[in-house]
Structure 1
Amino acid sequence: MTYDLVVIGAGPGGFDAAVAGAGYGLKVALVEKDVLGGTCVNRGCIPTKLWLGATSAIEELHNQSKMKVASGEVNVDFTALQARVQKHLVGTRKAMGMQLKKLGVDLLEGIGRLAGKGKISVENEDGTQEVDYKNLVVATGSKPIFFPGLEPDGECVLDSDMFLSMDSMPSSLIVVGAGFIGLEMAQAAHRFGAKVTVVDAMDRVAPLEDPEVSKALRSVFKRWKWDIKLEERVSGVRTVDGKAVLTLESGEQIEADKALVAVGRGPVTQGIGLEEAGIEMQFNQIQVDENLMAAKNIYAIGDANGQMQLAHAAAHQAHYVASRIAGKTDAPYESGPIPSVLYGAPEVMRVGLMQNEAFLTDMDCEVSKVQLAANPMAQAHAATQGFVKVVWSGGKVVGVTAVGHEVSRLATTSTMIVQQGWTAEDIYKTIFPHPSLDESLLMALKADRQKVEG
């Protein structure tokens, strides 16, 4: 049998490509070596959010107790939480499998490799089969990467996958890497009472965000009594006598029950025949053209092409590729503004241009900003630290950044505002509910603007 579309990888991008392709009437096969859902569902986004959701009441009570309006404690059973996580993941995978079956997508379990023009091989414990395709989508995702000396040992030195599968939360934790993965998992550990140390070679936490966001986050983490060591290089971390021992290049050593190494993720693209097929690679990322095509009739989406390591970006690319294969579009791929969110408390949300990016461009930019302290919902939850910032250029909104209480709620609205390029007049065409966190975005849009200076 020759499939119209074969997809390698059943994470958010691959699964959505298969579903969209089948929806267009294509004969589709989906190849997966592990389980449906990929890293996001099974070892990343979803388990982490279940942890943060289950422990959110701990932070809420802490905030209200500071206002002297509540007291007591919230005890979260970690064993029960892990059991709930697994139950949820099993249910999610089951639902995904049922959807594939309903749409007539063939699920091929095994390792998919390119095996010549128009062919892939699928290898599992039962042997190897060859599959013919007219179009191929590579959606193999990513995995944790490590610098020499930072490799996890599965004992006290863990990567994010290992951390999420722990049987108990450690009483002390070293986090190497102050990006989104490390900070979200550190917040969960903090809520369970762990003493947290964060180490990063950069000069600020969340280094890819607006510097004001990094400053606000660090202020909160210091108030939580986290030990934050920035501009510090790690020479190694290993298990010694049942403890994680981290050694800085300065010679200083830090000890904790566990160490989480979260310095980044890299594409899973090696050993599947890409180079042999003439596909150009750079730092293991599949190079694609404006149509997300890596070679004739071969596409790469999501983390595999390295353009944006976000599940929703992969899903968006998936729909485009499926529609292109089905003949529904021949236009180049356009992502539009892509929102990103750091979850927890506080949260971080951004879409479009950030202020610190603005002065690096030739664009004439202005910024308007409002503090969350003025928002009634932030006040209601006793979580008033943070702000919403809007970046303007040519009289239009080109970016929104926010940090603070549940600012992820602003992500979709902000994305639409940036995508539509709102002007000052557009602000009054939409009614924002009162009271709501959305009003902080409205106030930021209305606030006086200041020119961005380099």
Structure 2
Amino acid sequence: MSEKYDVLVVGSGPGGYVAAIRAAQLGLRTAVVERDRLGGICLNWGCIPTKAMLHGADVAHTLANLEPLGFRAAGVTFDMAGLVKFSRSVSERLSNGIGYLLKKNGVEVITGTARLAGRGEIDVAADGARTRYRADHTILATGARPRSIPGVAPDGERVWTYFQALTPPSLPESLLVVGSGAIGVEFASLYRDLGTAVTLVEAMPRIMPAEDATVAEHVRKRFTDRGITVHQGASVSGVDAGIDAVTTTLTLSDGSAEKITTERVLVAAGIQGNVEDLGLEEAGVEVERGFVRTDEWCRTTAFGVYAIGDVAGAPCLAHKASHEGVLCVEKLAGVEHVRPLDRRRVPACTYARPQVAHLGLTEEQARATGRRLRVGRFDYTASGKALAIGEGDGFVKTVFDADTGELLGAHMVGPEVTEQIQGFGIAQSLEATTEDLAEVVFAHPTLSEAMHESVLAALGRSLNS
């Protein structure tokens, strides 16, 4: 007789393992099915290892800019293998930590590949055998993978996905990055700081198309200042990988063609949901544009089947997945006062140099709503703390409804903005108005004072600019 669970979660990424833990906390018999390593892509190949690598890039930048602070360092050497080892060790430690958390909370871990096998039934294949399990509720948290683009086939050698970019055999002398979303921009920044000649290619009219236009243009200028070649409105029409190099043919915005030869090419043109081989069609689970269709409670079109995180569509972010995992489980368990996720209030962060963070609507999107706006901006060139740490570049921009004071959007580019954006998230959650935020006392000297000044600027009351 097959094992029976209240909740069975397929996938142990930031959505899956959090959903499993919360289900167990609510007294539900819970299991997680994982075919690879606990923690999913985010922990093993995404969010965490990239941040460890980017920390190394920050160290490289600091070492290259010591003299203004009175330091000189001679004979400093760099070993790419050492940075990769550090990055992998961080992921390993956290993966083991997730195993501990699941065990601590009484969640069973099933190793294998899961497939829906009928109402309330799941087959798990492992080591050539199949085992059937039953569950009242099945949560799909299978994540996503790099999206392929026509004419560019990653081979793992010369043409990379982020998997190879995180474990390179050596530091390439040159790299062409296709795509300027968070992944592409982070790797372009990372490799440039380590000494690689970088070209960044974006098919849309501007890089970082999901960001406010002023932020995207600021990053483009800073990347150009750093020696990164940026092509906007350019598409890849062909890639020819040789033994020692890759020649990429671009169609530029003016219609002309250009060939660029680099040691490696990184394809970072978005992601697609892992929806294959799950038995979705037979189970009645609908898929739209490569992602599972869900309602506000993460329910799919099949009874008793839910989907959370990247496999359920944008925004494809770890913290969105975790939040969905909790609300999904609490709703199915009958917890009172559960609220659906407002995806417009999910912050997005890019950990390049400069860092970028945003929440809510861009100014362009806000104006398209027809509302009267108040827009405030404060530059870090007027921030005492930013200047004191040698990071006086970037700005904070806030967009408010002029009639109600509602915070519609916040956009930040500069030092440690990824650690500050949650302040605006709290403000949105508590429905704080422009006047409410203007009355908040910010500590001095801090980087976060720029947030306050941006609010004051929206009211025409900026004190330091």
Give me the TM-score of the superposition, normalised by structure 1.
Answer: 0.95
Q: Please report how far the alpha carbon of residue 279 of structure 1 lies from its aligned counterpart in structure 2 after TM superposition.
A: 1.3
Query: In the alignment, what sits opposite 2:129?
Result: 127
One-letter identity of the residue aligned with 1:443: E
Alpha-carbon contact 1:346-1:404 (below 8 Å) kept: yes
Query: In the alignment, what sits opposite 2:413?
Result: 403
Q: Please report how far the alpha carbon of residue 156 of structure 1 lies from its aligned counterpart in structure 2 after TM superposition.
A: 0.7
**Structure 1 unaligned spans of 5+:** none
* Residue 362 to residue 104, structure 1, CA distance change in 2 (3 Å): same
> Distance in 1 between the 2:172 and 2:443 partners?
42
In the TM superposition, 1:255-274 aligns within 5 A as 255-274=261-280
SS of the equivalent of 2:368 reads: coil
Query: In the alignment, what sits opposite 1:385?
Result: 393
Alpha-carbon contact 2:52-2:90 (below 8 Å) kept: no
Q: Deviations over 1:19-76 (max 9, x none)?
A: 11111111001011111111110111111100111221322344554x4744446644
Query: In the alignment, what sits opposite 1:114?
Result: 116
Alpha-carbon contact 2:356-2:418 (below 8 Å) kept: yes
Q: Please report how far the alpha carbon of residue 396 of structure 1 lies from its aligned counterpart in structure 2 after TM superposition.
A: 2.4
Query: In the alignment, what sits opposite 1:319?
Result: 326
Query: In the alignment, what sits opposite 1:283?
Result: 289
* Residue 376 to residue 301, structure 1, CA distance change in 2 (3 Å): same
> Distance in 1 between the 2:376 and 2:66 partners?
30
Q: Please report how far the alpha carbon of residue 241 of structure 1 lies from its aligned counterpart in structure 2 after TM superposition.
A: 2.7
One-letter identity of the residue aligned with 1:176: V
SS of the equivalent of 1:98 reads: helix
Q: Deviations over 1:83-134 (max 9, x none)?
A: 1222222211111111111222111111100001110000011411000000
Q: Please report how far the alpha carbon of residue 428 of structure 1 lies from its aligned counterpart in structure 2 after TM superposition.
A: 5.2
Alpha-carbon contact 1:54-1:76 (below 8 Å) kept: no
Alpha-carbon contact 1:112-1:120 (below 8 Å) kept: yes
Query: In the alignment, what sits opposite 2:452?
Result: 442
**Which one of the candidate residues 150, 153, 157 is aligned to 2:152?**
150
SS of the equivalent of 2:413 reads: strand
SS of the equivalent of 1:12 reads: coil
Query: In the alignment, what sits opposite 1:419?
Result: 429
Q: Please report how far the alpha carbon of residue 304 of structure 1 lies from its aligned counterpart in structure 2 after TM superposition.
A: 0.9
Query: In the alignment, what sits opposite 1:347?
Result: 355
Query: In the alignment, what sits opposite 1:46?
Result: 48
Moved over 6 A (4+): none
Q: Deviations over 1:301-333 (max 9, x none)?
A: 111110320000000000001111221147562
Q: Deviations over 1:327-370 (max 9, x none)?
A: 11475623361111111221111111221211111322220111
SS of the equivalent of 1:447 reads: helix
Q: Deviations over 1:188-240 (max 9, x none)?
A: 11111000111111121111101101111011111111111111111122321
> Distance in 1 between the 2:382 and 2:91 partners?
39
* Residue 253 to residue 189, structure 1, CA distance change in 2 (3 Å): same
Q: Deviations over 1:144-197 (max 9, x none)?
A: 011111110111100111211212221111011111101101111111100011
Q: Deviations over 1:278-307 (max 9, x none)?
A: 111111211112221002111111111103
Alpha-carbon contact 1:173-1:260 (below 8 Å) kept: yes
* Residue 296 to residue 329, structure 1, CA distance change in 2 (3 Å): farther
> Distance in 1 between the 2:12 and 2:134 partners?
18
**Which one of the candidate residues 66, 85, 98 is aligned to 2:87?**
85
Query: In the alignment, what sits opposite 1:57?
Result: 59
Query: In the alignment, what sits opposite 1:292?
Result: 298
> Distance in 1 between the 2:135 and 2:386 partners?
53
What is the RMSD computed on CA atoms of the aligned residues? 1.7
Q: Please report how far the alpha carbon of residue 277 of structure 1 lies from its aligned counterpart in structure 2 after TM superposition.
A: 0.8
SS of the equivalent of 2:169 reads: coil
> Distance in 2 between the 1:284 and 1:348 partners?
27
In the TM superposition, 1:24-39 aligns within 5 A as 24-39=26-41
SS of the equivalent of 1:198 reads: strand
> Distance in 1 between the 2:429 and 2:4 partners?
40
Q: How many residues align?
A: 449
Structure 1, 67-76 or 22-31: larger mean CA deviation: 67-76
